[in-house]
Amino acid sequence: MRIRAAVLEQFDAPLAVQELELAEPQAGEVLVRLVACGVCHTDLYTASGADPSGYAPTVLGHEGAGVVERVGESVGSLRPGDHVVTLFSPQCRECAHCRDPRTNLCLAIREQQGRGLLPDGTTRLSRDGEPVRHFMGTSTFAEYTVMPEIALAKITPDAPLDGACLFACGLSTGLGAAMNTAAVQPGSTCVVFGAGMVGLGAVAGSRLRGAERIVCVDLSPERLELARGQGATDLLRGGPDAVAEILELTGGLGADYTFEATGNVAVMRQAVEAARMGWGLATVCGVAGKGETLDVVPRLLITGRRVAGSSFGGVKGRDQVPELVERWLAGEIDVAPFISHRISLDDVNRGFELMERQDGIRSVIEF
């Protein structure tokens, strides 16, 4: 079938919206009609050329939600008409990692996905007979996409898909960082560095876990106010004095849990320094630039602080994304403030521009 999609032709250049061929789903694959897709920083990160594992040409996009149109052979968990959220972090439920509660990093299709291919080592996207690679196993900057069954979370049809798409990446990453990776304990003090999509999710996740005090740190007063709406009790303007201010707020001890959601290695260091001596846990969610390293004074670790990384918030997508969506529908998570702009596929580059200007939290493409 012919589809329209936003193609990354070369790094550090605008995406080109054009017509491509999309082949039928093969065994274990599903054809999805996209309804909504968030424009995430990871898409911009790859388009800029900063991602060392990036490639072109490819169809970007990974924060999608839509409706199943057709299924390939051996697909048993989905059927046409099902509403789904796309998962760049799949869950086969069979590999050693899927069976272990300590990680969500499924091993089943990891190698092929990283190369821009579907599990059988080929693509379903093409242009004039030449393959166009998939991105993060999803390629949701398109009217339709073909994906592995194990990379789709079936959700209730009651959930509006323009909000559900945010659970495909940013919102689940932040929620899960607090609820899964850090497993925030009731009555604790949390500090979240960054009030973008992931940081706001971490604020909400800390609230849902029963944190008593949630401090949010950001440069933007508008974003800090959004953090208050998600449950932040204290707001701090970011900068070189942030750690000193956090220590003052916590009696000189630091926070039980800190979360970094900026991708800035200097802020990552602040997250470690602001963690409590003895048991403080700093969770890093942001993606740093190519070649950057985290500089931490070893004494901070020797005195009991710990550092953890969190990919997709430790969320096992097929099992847990539907649960998070249900909590949204139950009123526990306020999604509406995150959707700042509604745009068309043709405006995808404007979505990047809005992100670079920090204009709002999420631009959502509506198909």
- The helix/strand/coil state of 354 is helix
Among 40, 165, 216, 285, the one annotated catalytic: 40
Q: Nearest to residue 230, comparing CAs of 269, 274, 256, 261?
A: 261
Active site residue 62: yes
Among 37, 41, 207, 285, the one annotated catalytic: 41
Among 37, 62, 143, 216, the one annotated catalytic: 62
Active site residue 190: no
Among 29, 37, 83, 92, the one annotated catalytic: 92
* Crossing angle (nearest 10°) for helices 197-208 and 221-230: 30
Residue spans of alpha helices (H) in the chain: 41-47, 110-114, 161-164, 170-176, 197-208, 221-230, 242-249, 265-273, 298-302, 317-329, 348-356
Active site residue 341: no
**Alpha-carbon distance 97 to 328, whole Å?**
27
Among 169, 190, 216, 285, the one annotated catalytic: 169
Among 29, 46, 63, 305, the one annotated catalytic: 63
**Alpha-carbon distance 85 to 83, whole Å?**
7
- The helix/strand/coil state of 270 is helix
Which conformational region is residue 364 in: left (phi greater than 0), alpha (psi within -120 to 50 degrees), or beta?
Answer: beta
Active site residue 95: yes
Q: Within 13 Å, how many C-alpha atoms sit on residue 208's CB side?
A: 24
Among 29, 37, 83, 106, the one annotated catalytic: 106
Active site residue 305: no
- The helix/strand/coil state of 180 is helix
For the sheet with 213-218, list strands across it.
Answer: 234-237, 213-218, 189-193, 257-260, 281-284, 306-309
Among 124, 276, 318, 362, the one annotated catalytic: 362
Backbone angles phi, psi at 138, to 5 degrees: -125, -60
Among 95, 97, 228, 350, the one annotated catalytic: 95
**Alpha-carbon distance 55 to 47, whole Å?**
9
Active site residue 63: yes
Among 110, 127, 213, 228, the one annotated catalytic: 110
**Alpha-carbon distance 14 to 349, whole Å?**
6
Active site residue 285: no
Active site residue 276: no
Active site residue 216: no
Strands 339-343 and 144-148: unpaired
Active site residue 37: no
| CB contact set of 333 (below 8 Å; sequence gap of 6+) | 171, 175, 204, 208, 324, 327
Which residues are annotated as catalytic?
40-42, 62-63, 92, 95, 98, 106, 110, 169, 362
